Structure 1
Amino acid sequence: MKLVHKDLEKGGSGTVVLVPDEPEDIWHAYNLIMEGDSVKASTVRKVTNETATGSTTSSKVRTILTVSVENIFFDTQACMLRLKGRNMEENQYVKMGAYHTIDLELNRKFTLRKRNWDTIHLDRIELACDASKHAEVAAVVMQEGLAHVCLVTSSMTIVRAKIDAPIPRKRRGDCSQHEKGLTKFYDQIIQALLRHVNFDVVKAILIASPGFVRQQFFDYMYAQAVKTDNKLLFENKGKFLLVHSSSGYKHALKEVLQDPAVLARLVDTKATEEVRTLEAFYKMMKNEQARAFYGPKHVFAACEAEAIEVLLISDKLFRAVTVAERKKVCGFSR
């Protein structure tokens, strides 16, 4: 996500202009946009024209509309966000107050205006615009000729680079072309790691592959680090963890993160913190019911008694329609 412009007023209202540049950004937009907000974006409108003879023709035109959002639909499979609302500004194709549906599109900017910006929303924008500041786990899922460099945050996995390079086959008595192809492939992965991974933030970097590819890449990377005197790689060598995966495709990362050795290594990262906390809550519910509280009434009572050790709040509460409800939850979460 790219932040093009931000203009927030003292009273809490204001606008931000954002450009989603990858599918995960649409998910962030879904968590930012709420009923009652206004969104200005490029959209397609079907226009019907009537000729002098009474016949009609229809065509689709692209125009820019500002709608007051009344309905939000998020397709989790297609990662698509559809906003429905009434037009708020004069437009030659759409009357004031007429309903229209806007589909947020990748690489097309939209302007979001809120009457009251919460700290949760501002934190969400910061996370969306620079995930590297918050991703404590990085991963390279690879096989010969294919690699995905990913950042794993507490809520999602972001593919920062996909390297797809042809690797010539070995020929009898001549492996030079195969070796050159591998070297070029490995160099591209190293550059992607150095470009996209914030080594000051990440606690672990997973190198996953079938067979011996991961070990070969790791050995080559540090052989190159010796030649170029790359201190950054040497200082962070202990963060690398080599694990098995079934392939070099992104979906293989799911099985990697479920590996017991990986879970033990990532025990202190935010990517697994919520899962572990929820499991601890269920265990407490089963064995010590008097210590486990849920529901607004009991949780607020525990808060007043300063008896909360760990607090879990559903994202759904931050999407409450009323500003007062959101303020109460935001203040409570602090």
Structure 2
Amino acid sequence: MKLKEKDFTVNQMGRVTIIPEESDDLWILYNIINPGDYVTADTSRKVHHQLNDGKNTTASRVRLSVRLKVTCRDFDKDSSTLRIQGRNLEPNSYVAVGSFHTLTLECNKPFELHKKVWKHDVIEDLQERENHKVCPAKLAVTLFQQDHAEIYLIGKGVTAMVSKVETSSSRIGGRKPSSSSPSSNTKNVFFREVFAAFIKHVDLNKVKNTVIASED
């Protein structure tokens, strides 16, 4: 974990910019960030635009920075992401002040944490993670199951699942009968999502070996 622009003191108001580097960092942050804290991070928002014909619309995603007063948080160990939900405090063109929004905190993406009171044990936990040396992964493993794929990074004594990609049928809670097989289009979408997750989580400049395996 990297800490930048540190401006906090025990039992005082303060802030810090945090860059999580491992899934364990996100788990620590899940236990550190509390309702009432303030989190600022970049996010994206789906925006609909009306076409010139006045009838049809098109959608695009825009990047923006949002500052939330935290109401709740959730850690997803499968995807190694930390979701922060809260009310937006600063006006912008796409998120109204006071409206709820969800920020997704991920490894290697900076965000700012502001607390009204920094407790001693919280500062200790952050400093301990800052001094923790990241064990570089040597091997990436993609394991295909019947209805999902899992991506692992393996280092010296450390194995971490960094992503889990589900098929469209499993995401909606159903499973196709064993006698039927997914269409080629469905398979292509699934494989593209797995590839995108692999590129997102695996730094090929550092990880030189990969394994792709299936239960079939």
> Which band: TM-score by shorter chain?
0.5 to 0.7
Distance change >3 Å, CA 24–CA 36, structure 1 → 2: same
Deviation at 1:49, TM superposition (A): 2.0
Q: Establish whether residue 99 from structure 1 lines up as the match of residue 100 from structure 2.
A: yes
Equivalence map 1:101-120=2 (5 Å): 101-120=102-121
CA distance in 2 between counterparts of 1:249 and 1:124 reads: 22
Aligned to 1:161: 136
Aligned to 2:39: 39
Aligned to 1:83: 84
Give the letter for the 2:85 counterpart.
Answer: K
% identity of equivalent residues: 35
SS in 2 for 1:44: strand
Bigger Rg, structure 1 or 2: 1
Distance change >3 Å, CA 249–CA 12, structure 1 → 2: closer
CA distance in 2 between counterparts of 1:250 and 1:38 reads: 32
Deviation at 1:89, TM superposition (A): 0.7
Q: Deviations over 1:294-315 (max 9, x none)?
A: xxxxxxxxxxxxxxxxxxxxxx
Higher strand share: 2
CA distance in 2 between counterparts of 1:72 and 1:54 reads: 39
SS in 1 for 2:135: strand
SS in 2 for 1:162: coil
CA distance in 1 between counterparts of 2:11 and 2:29 reads: 23
Aligned to 1:126: 127
Equivalence map 1:176-325=2 (5 Å): 250=158
Q: Deviations over 1:39-76 (max 9, x none)?
A: 00111111122345143222112211111111111113
Aligned to 2:73: 72
Deviation at 1:9, TM superposition (A): 6.1
CA distance in 2 between counterparts of 1:163 and 1:59 reads: 37
SS in 1 for 2:25: helix
TM-score (norm: length of structure 1): 0.40
Q: Structure 1 segments of 4 or more deviating over 3 A?
A: 248-251
Count of aligned pairs between the two proteins: 142
Give the letter for the 1:7 counterpart.
Answer: D
* Residue segments in structure 2 that go unaligned for 5+ positions in a row: 140-155, 160-216
Aligned to 1:286: none
SS in 1 for 2:136: strand
Deviation at 1:11, TM superposition (A): 6.0
SS in 2 for 1:24: helix
Distance change >3 Å, CA 163–CA 13, structure 1 → 2: same
CA distance in 2 between counterparts of 1:90 and 1:110 reads: 18
SS in 1 for 2:124: helix
Q: Deviations over 1:122-147 (max 9, x none)?
A: 01110110125xxxxxxxxxxxxxxx
Aligned to 2:168: none
Q: Deviations over 1:173-208 (max 9, x none)?
A: xxxxxxxxxxxxxxxxxxxxxxxxxxxxxxxxxxxx
Higher helix share: 1
Give the letter for the 1:162 counterpart.
Answer: A
CA distance in 1 between counterparts of 2:59 and 2:26 reads: 30
Distance change >3 Å, CA 54–CA 112, structure 1 → 2: same
CA distance in 1 between counterparts of 2:26 and 2:36 reads: 19
Task: Say if 2:80 and 2:106, in contact at 8 Å, map to a contact too.
Answer: no
TM-score (norm: length of structure 2): 0.60
* Residue segments in structure 1 that go unaligned for 5+ positions in a row: 133-158, 165-247, 252-334
For CA contacts below 8 A with separation 6 or more, give which structure has more relative contact order.
2
Task: Say if 2:18 and 2:110, in contact at 8 Å, map to a contact too.
Answer: yes
